[in-house]
Structure 1
Amino acid sequence: MNRMIQSIIEEARAVSQEGHLASYIPALANQPKDQFAAYIIDEQGEVLKFGDYNFLFTLQSISKVMSFMVAAEYLGLHKVLEKVDVEPTGDPFNSIVRLEVAERGKPFNPMINAGAITVASLLPGNSVDMRVQSVTDFLSQITGRKHFINQEVYQSEFETAYRNRAIANYLKANNYLNGTVEEAVETYLQLCAIEFSTEDLAKFGLFLASDGRKASNNKPLISRKTAHVSKALMMTCGLYNASGKYAATVGFPMKSGVSGGVLCTIQNGQIERLKGRMGIGVFSPMIDDVGNSVAGMHFLQSLSEHYQLSVF
């Protein structure tokens, strides 16, 4: 392993203990605290990988950007944006207050729970299973393998989803949801419980860097416009209410989840022998008070600084 990257990883691991597990979701309180994995892939298929990069964790909020893409391709981007805006909030991901002050209660963006629950209700299919499958099938086309729901994590979230049900009821009252409140919440929570690895995340990041084209055959799976809007959302809203901070200090589109995963996409850069478009997946489960992986963000910030990866 390259000595510089090894040093960056060791520093990141050292600060992970400053975080905590997402114990408000009971099943996530059992994650291995010391886990760290990263996977980087470029457009030529060159790879750098560290730790247990095949370890499976649940996507949590990372699924929000993926479900947004599926809904946008199914309904048309303009139809989805009639239901969900693209403005940052600066509020916690599960905040309700913005719904009450926004015009007609419209969710500010798809990366907060209100927006993601709305998007979940817009997915293709007339049942929860069909809507979830529309996303897992999409993911399988990009990663080359099947994806499943972690039932333990899903049930754990479903049984404690009081706030998400409150958000969904408010959305339904303002005519933003398709179907029932319970269907929207179930769909959203199952999407959060999809299992992924850092290798899967990196492949998805490369897919985004390629403007929605599949790496194996350069076939477009989503429109260039949907890819561009998705990356813009990741940059401005992808790291909860620390998105502005990390846009300034890391400087490329990312989406995090409270399980400790981070999805990253690099439009053009060089990391050792890797160059051009790249995807990065990172996992370390100890998160900060905002919800971002402590070691993961330290690793990405150091990587960006050393290899000058910021778009700014």
Structure 2
Amino acid sequence: MNTPQASEVWIRLQKELPQWVEESRAQCGEGKVASYIPELAKAPHRALGIQIMNGSGASIAAGDAAIPFTMQSISKVFTLLLALMDNGEAAVFDKVGMEPTGDNFNSMLKLELVQPGIPFNPLINAGAIVISSLIAGARMEEKSDRVLQFFRKLAANDFLEVNEAVYQSEAASADLNRSMAYFLKDNGVLKGKVDEVLDVYFRHCSINVTCADLARMALVLAFDGTDPITGERHIPRRYVQIAKTFMVTCGMYNASGEFAIEVGMPAKSGVAGGILTLVPGRYGIGVVGPALNPKGNSIAGVDLLETLSQRLDWSLF
């Protein structure tokens, strides 16, 4: 990438990022807060925040970066990584595919239409439910605790917790996810008890974070699995390559192609309004904006990332 020197970019971010946030905040009125999980409907409609962290641990925050929100589908990137570390590539991709679907994230259409009946990728709901079944652990509680501890390590935050209100709301409104899980179970793809697998899934989607947590987790991905602040390797480089490729091709639901063209950064969104993204070898970025566009992505958050990518030449392409 032909970019200005990092110090010049950092100075520009310190100066201009608050203004860019306010410009993008105007988009919030065009979006809608997720309501199919009732607890998510309580999120502040006009909130927009961002935190950017560099490899030395310095960070810049603007807007409503301090508000907590649940990871939702962003968590799928990291459960995929944990499943790969637990099982290896062959076992994981025997149960999920590697291709975008072009369908909504909660669609089960292709499970029956396209053989052999495995989810197209790990970042749609069906795929993430299968991935949740592959987390090592003798009991549901052990699996969920391993996920939480892994997330805490990557975020360098021992206080990450499951938002119980969102977890309960998600579990109570998950008929479609249950339908997918039972179909996968009947098809021989999902192993284990459906209710226990779904409980692991609901809990990791309901982990509370802030933009700072997402930025630190993204920083580990930006540096190929090593935390550049501590020097500790958390994830094998090969598995991070896999995860980042999925983020480019599938991370923004069925708007991933458009996002790749307009922004060109590996990213994963969630319906609570979060977006995790990164600039390889340089920055980890966390964004929150609960008002969503029709594809389920933060409408103001996407607009803000387009601004950053275009003005700072951050696209990989």
Q: Please confirm whether the aligned pair reaches a TM-score higher than 0.5, indicating the same fold.
A: yes
How far apart in 2 are the matches of 1:214 and 1:7? 30
Instruction: Note the aligned Cα RMSD (angstroms).
Output: 1.2
Residue 9 of structure 2: aligned partner: none
Aligned amino acid, residue 307 of structure 1: L
From 133, 154, 165, give the equivalent of 2:178: 165
Q: Is the 8 A contact 2:79 2:131 kept in 1?
A: yes
- Match for residue 287 of structure 1? 292
- Opposite residue 294 of structure 2, the aligned amino acid is D
Q: What are the Cα deviations for residues 83-127 of structure 1, in whole angstroms up to 9, with x where unaligned?
A: 111100110000011101222211100000010000001101122
Structure 2 matches for 1:101-180, cutoff 5 A? 101-146=113-158, 147-180=160-193
Distance 2:192 2:132 in 1: 10
Determine the structure 1 residue equivalent to 2:202.
189
What's the CA shift string for 1:255-296, capped at 9, x where partnerless? 00000000001115xxxxxxxx11000001000111100110
Distance in structure 2 (CA, Å) of the matches to 1:55 and 1:5: 18
Contact 2:274 2:287 in 1 (8 A): yes
C-alpha displacement of 1:252:
0.7
- Equivalence for 2:58: 46
Matches within 5 A, 1:179-218: 179-218=192-231
Cα distance, 1:236 vs structure 2: 0.4
**Which amino acid counterpart does residue 224 of structure 1 have in structure 2?**
R
Q: 1:92 pairs with 77, 98, 104, which one?
A: 104
Secondary structure at the aligned position of 1:4 is classed as helix
Q: 5+ residue gaps in structure 2?
A: 1-12
The letter for the 2-side match of 1:305 is Q
Q: Structure 1 unaligned segments of length 5 or more: list them.
A: 269-276
What is the alpha-carbon distance in structure 2 between the residues aligned to residue 227 and residue 144 of structure 1? Answer: 18
| Match 1:235 to one of 248, 251, 255 | 248
Q: Give, in whole Å, the separation in 1 of the partners of 2:57 and 2:14.
A: 18
SS in structure 2 of the partner of residue 103 of structure 1: coil
The answer as to whether partners of 1:65 and 1:230 remain within 8 angstroms in 2 is: yes
In 1, are the aligned partners of 2:45 and 2:291 still within 8 Å (CA)? yes
1:75 counterpart (77, 87, 100): 87
Distance 1:52 1:154 in 2: 23
In structure 1, the residue matched to 2:232 is: 219
Of 297, 302, 309, 1:304 maps to 309
Letter in 1 for 2:288: F
TM-score by length of structure 1 reads: 0.95
Given that 1:104 and 1:174 are in contact with CA atoms closer than 8 Å, whether structure 2 keeps it comes out as: no
* One-letter amino acid of the structure 2 residue matched with residue 170 of structure 1: F
Residue 115 of structure 2 aligns to which amino acid in structure 1?
E
Query: Deviation per CA, 1:127-162, whole angstroms, max 9, x where unpaired?
Result: 222111111111111222222111111111111110
Kept in 1, the 8 Å contact 2:273–2:292? The answer is yes
The TM-score with structure 2 as length reference comes to 0.93
The equivalent residue for 2:26 is: 14
Distance (Å, rounded) in 2 between the aligned partners of 1:141 and 1:64 = 16
CA distance in 2, matches of 1:71, 1:35: 33
More displaced stretch, 228-237 vs 49-58:
49-58
Separation of aligned partners in 1, 2:229 and 2:15? 31
The equivalent of 1:250 in structure 2 is 263
Distance 1:3 1:208 in 2: 26
* 1:105 aligned counterpart, secondary structure: coil
Q: CA shift at 1:6, angstroms? A: 2.8
Cα deviation 1:27-51 (Å, max 9, x = unaligned): 0111111222110011122211113
The amino acid across from 2:284 in the alignment is G
2:70–2:208 contact (8 Å) kept in structure 1? yes
Q: Closer, same or farther in 2 for the Cα pair 1:129/1:54, shift >3 Å?
A: farther
1:215 CA drift (Å):
2.7
What is the letter of the counterpart of residue 191 of structure 1? H
Secondary structure at 2:60 match in 1: strand
Distance 1:310 1:281 in 2: 17
Shift of 1:3: 4.3
The SS at the match of 2:287 is strand
Question: Matched residues in 2 for 1:19 and 1:109: separation?
Answer: 27
SS in 2 for 1:92: coil
Q: CA deviation at 1:229?
A: 0.3
SS of aligned partner of 2:32: coil
The percentage of counterpart residues that share the same residue type is: 41
